[in-house]
Amino acid sequence: MIELRSKMRALTIALFTLAGAWSAAAAQVHTPHLDLELSAQGTAVPGGKVFVALKQVIAPGWHTYWRNPGDAGEATQIDWTLPQGWSAGDIVWPTPERAVTGPLMNYVYSSSVILPVPLKVAADAPIGSTANLTAHASFLVCKDVCVPEEATLSVAVPVTAKSTPDPVWGPLISGVVHASPHPVGATASFIVAADGLHLTISGAAAKSAVKAAGLGDAYFYPFAGAVIDQVKPQKAVATSDGLSLILPAGYDIQHGKTPARLEGVLALGKGHAFELSAVQSGPVGSGPGPQGAVKPEAAPQPPAIIPAGPIASSAASAPNPTPVASNPPPAPAKPVNPDGLTLPVAMLLAVLGGLILNLMPCVFPVLSMKAAALARHTEHPAAARAEGIAYALGVIGSFVGLAVALIAARGAGEAVGWGFQLQSPLTVSVLTLVMLASALNLSGLFEMGLSAQGAGQGLAAKGGLSGAFFTGVLAVVVAAPCTGPFMASTIGWALAQPTALALLVFAALGLGLALPFLALAFMPGLYRVMPRPGPWMEGLRRFLAFPMYGAAAWLAWVFVEETSANQLPYLFAAALALAFGLWLWGVGQRSATDRMRLVSHLSAALAMAASAAVLIAVPPVATVQADAPNRADLHGVQPWSPRRVAQLQSEGRPIFVDFTAAWCVTCKVNEAGALATSGVASAFRQTGTVYLKADWTNRNGEIANLLKSKGRAGVPLYLVYDRHGGEPTILPQLLTEGDVVSALKAAAR
């Protein structure tokens, strides 16, 4: 009888353990693009460790992100709610896939992925109890667009005296933990040289991995996003006791921010991947570096032997701490809502902001096109009204189109803002040629929309609805990057709202910009006071070509600022081919015979095709983050960074920060005007204010995030920090000497 009771007791315990193991998998949770499940490796033992894994089944064509998402994106995050005494370690990240999208490299997971997390069990967890574990997970799921998703999952894990693996999930989770990259016995070091970072890995484990997998798919995945240029190829070579890689230098290295350690995952293919933590060997700057000698952030130490061992079971001992990307996406924040804006108020301010934008220096390049259009219609009010409507549609449609692109880019995890279109050298080069073509048209080299038979018609016939629409598009693309009064806070508010509301605000901005020209088009009295058509109109038209030539020259300068002077010959060659083609087109328009017109137009088409081919052939260059602050001027400008601001605030120094860009005409007007006066220079000296410049000519995630935190989406932005600390004062977009001097004196009190 006693033997029977013992057998029954053993059977009951076995059944309880088996039931507990099977109960360690929770029900699935579904989001629009993910099927999610939270499961435990097995039962929990008091004082021990148990892995609990989040499984993602990802919709076809979509992907989620690794711990360092790459050039865009956001890693999966898990927030735990655990019983008293339990603690969670870091996610164990399997080796990701590489996904190249245009100029961006992303590190992703597609199809499915299991992300185990080590949990430390409370030492006093009662045996026989069940621990209820809850995980709130957030994801960025991307395909052609990106969608943030989140879910709350839970799992019940039995606490037993002896660990019993889950029959289904136990082997799966153990396999992922075993196969995921972890430190091995190896020596890793790096140096900064002219051609990038030279990473050397040696030791028996490295040598064995190279022998087993080869170097055909060798790739170093950094934990920090700006240490290397992730999209560029990496060169791997075998050495006598391991391997060496040449990694293209990223933004941090190019700007002298050499890390104390270079950390990441080295993958060789065929399942061979391990973590590295390399120290810098030799003196910092032993190579010339991409931009001269590189200054260390910490004194170099001898190369470290990376110990082999299991993955840590707690946050305190984990060798794989959660990384801090160099340009991390900002933490979720409350929507920016300056002055408690509502949609009607925001739309009203947007119309006012767009209206005032007509007075900003950014719009000057297209004023000549508007003036020429008005002059054409001294005796054709109906045509003026039609072109006014077409121009307004071009402006409003372009504002909405740019807003859609901006919202989509931000949804994809990119740190971009208003004016992002002029951060692309290709866009700037195309706009340069468009401005040149417009100037040549105004100079009479060729006519738009005219056949040879119609070339002799009056000036009133020139242009047309398509030309008016195109003028509106051009006005927005060139002028909108510079924000004016009311625009800055309104755009910041709009980008914090749902997409539909944001697009309404941007449409209101477009209406404001188009309003003066639209109103003039519907004012017949204007045309009665203008002179009758005559030779003066042709003279005015040719005179108005020169602002367009100036705009083309300015854009060529922006192109050089974004790339290098070595690229300028390609742009000039494309411009020359375009001008030659347009001249041939004009010859054809004025020709008397059909044969001559055909020959001229075919020749013109070939010349313009050559112009496009030259632009396509421009050799790619690494995006150069503009470093204008290094150029000395009367204020002793220094480069801006959040770290530099914090350092100066700790020293009790007043700070002036100038957020600018080479393509921002308003910024340049302020720099050559109010900021260049002797009164402002004297105020800087007397107050001891430090002048920091944040140059946004090229994309910069830190600048974009700061603009966003201030409710702004573009430049210019001027901040003055008080020497006692606290939030900065925001100055107007159009500066006066008095504005700057008063703010500096107030900050120094």
Report how far residue 377's alpha carbon sits from residue 194's, in angstroms, rounded to the nearest whole number.
61
* Phi, psi torsion values for 661, nearest 5 degrees: -160, 150
Residue pointed to by tokens 């992907």? 63
Q: What's the half-sphere exposure (Cβ side, CA atoms, 13 Å) at 721? A: 26
How far is CA 172 from each of CA 29, 169, 177, 246, 269, rounded to the nearest angstrom? Answer: 19, 5, 9, 36, 21
CB of 263 within 8 A of CB of 274?
no
As a residue count, the chain comes to 749
CB of 670 within 8 A of CB of 598?
no
* C-alpha torsion angle, residues 118, 152, 142, 170 (rounded to 10): 40
Query: What's the confidence (pLDDT) of residue 311?
Result: 28
DSSP 656: E
Residue pointed to by tokens 């700061």? 706
Report how far residue 305's alpha carbon sits from residue 188's, in angstroms, rounded to the nearest whole number.
7
CB of 238 within 8 A of CB of 256?
no
How far is CA 534 from each of CA 287, 444, 528, 538, 541, rounded to the nearest angstrom? Answer: 68, 16, 15, 8, 12
| Closest to 698 measured CA to CA, from 664, 655, 734 | 664
Handedness of CA 540, 542, 547, 548 (dihedral sign): positive
CB of 177 within 8 A of CB of 62?
no
Handedness of CA 504, 510, 514, 515 (dihedral sign): positive
Query: What's the confidence (pLDDT) of residue 468?
Result: 76
Query: Phi-psi region for residue 365, left (φ > 0), alpha (ψ -120 to 50) or beta?
Result: alpha
Homologous superfamily (CATH) of 2-178 is: Thiol:disulfide interchange protein DsbD, N-terminal domain (2.60.40.1250)
| Closest to 59 measured CA to CA, from 30, 102, 21 | 30
pLDDT digits (tens, 9 = 90+) for 498-547: 778 888 888 888 888 888 888 777 776 665 555 555 566 667 677 777 87
CB of 159 within 8 A of CB of 126?
yes
Specify which residues 452 forms β-bridges with.
none
CB of 115 within 8 A of CB of 53?
yes
| Closest to 649 measured CA to CA, from 709, 705, 710, 721 | 721
Q: Residue 311 has which token pair?
A: 């993955």
Q: Residue 50 has which token pair?
A: 């148990």
pLDDT digits (tens, 9 = 90+) for 388-430: 888 888 888 888 887 787 677 655 555 455 555 666 677 777 7
* C-alpha torsion angle, residues 396, 401, 407, 408 (rounded to 10): 170
Q: Which CATH number is 628-748 given? A: 3.40.30.10
CB of 428 within 8 A of CB of 562?
yes
CB of 559 within 8 A of CB of 425?
yes
Return the amino acid letter for 195: D
| Closest to 77 measured CA to CA, from 148, 144, 143, 25 | 148
Q: Residue 48 has which token pair?
A: 């021990």
pTM attached to this predicted model = 0.41
Ordered by start, the domain boundaries in the chain are: 2-178, 186-306, 338-428+450-546, 628-748
Burial class (CB in 10 A: 0-12, 13-18, 19+), 57: middle
Report how far residue 11's alpha carbon sits from residue 668's, in angstroms, rounded to the nearest whole number.
83
Angle at 227 between CA 222 and CA 232, to 5 degrees: 80
CB of 291 within 8 A of CB of 256?
yes
The secondary structure element, H or E, covering residue 573 is helix 568-590
Return the amino acid letter for 41: Q
Residue ranges of E strands in 510-636: none
| Closest to 320 measured CA to CA, from 117, 134, 138, 137 | 117
Return the amino acid letter for 263: E
How far, rounded to the nearest angstrom, does the alpha carbon of residue 631 sit from its chain's CA centroid? Answer: 26
CB of 67 within 8 A of CB of 91?
yes
Report how far residue 256's alpha carbon sits from residue 639's, in angstroms, rounded to the nearest whole number.
12
Report how far residue 538's alpha carbon sits from residue 444's, in angstroms, rounded to the nearest whole number.
9
Query: What's the confidence (pLDDT) of residue 599?
Result: 76
Report how far residue 95's alpha carbon sits from residue 271's, in angstroms, rounded to the nearest whole number.
9
Strand pairing of 655-660 and 690-695? parallel
3-state DSSP assignment of residue 104: strand
- Taking 70 as the pLDDT cut, the residues of the chain under it are 1-27, 282-341, 360-381, 406, 409-424, 448-464, 477-489, 492, 495-496, 524-538, 540, 562, 564, 617-635, 713
Q: What's the half-sphere exposure (Cβ side, CA atoms, 13 Å) at 696? A: 30
3-state DSSP assignment of residue 185: coil
Other C-beta atoms closer than 10 Å to the C-beta of 289 total 21
CB of 118 within 8 A of CB of 312?
yes
How far, rounded to the nearest angstrom, does the alpha carbon of residue 190 sit from its chain's CA centroid? Answer: 28
Report how far residue 734's alpha carbon sits from residue 718's, in angstroms, rounded to the nearest whole number.
10
